[in-house]
């Protein structure tokens, strides 16, 4: 998975198309971070807020 630092960087994966992807930017010829967050940002935020917080504490017993 590639990291998108620039919000206008374009992912031109050929599987993206205007037929199925609401975040496809025709002028750029692909999906940008900006359009992806615009379309899916509220859904991602909602899911992240519903996710339970998990605190894990590990107890290790070292055998000598």
Q: Span 31-52, mean pLDDT?
A: 89
Predicted confidence band at 46 (pLDDT cuts at 50, 70, 90)? very high
Q: Where are the domains of the chain?
A: 10-50
d(CA 34, CA 18): 16
Q: Which residue has the higher pLDDT, 32 or 55?
A: 32
3-state secondary structure of 60: coil
d(CA 39, CA 48): 16
Per-residue model confidence (pLDDT) at position 60: 59
pLDDT tens for 4-26 read 677 777 877 787 888 888 888 88
pTM above threshold 0.75:
no
């Amino acid at each position: 998975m590639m990291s998108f630092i620039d919000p206008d960087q374009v992912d031109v994966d050929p599987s993206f198309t205007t037929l199925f992807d609401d975040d496809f930017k025709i002028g750029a010829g692909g999906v940008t971070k900006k359009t992806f967050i615009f379309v899916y940002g509220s859904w991602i935020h909602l899911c992240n807020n519903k996710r339970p917080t998990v605190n894990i504490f590990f107890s290790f017993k070292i055998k000598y």
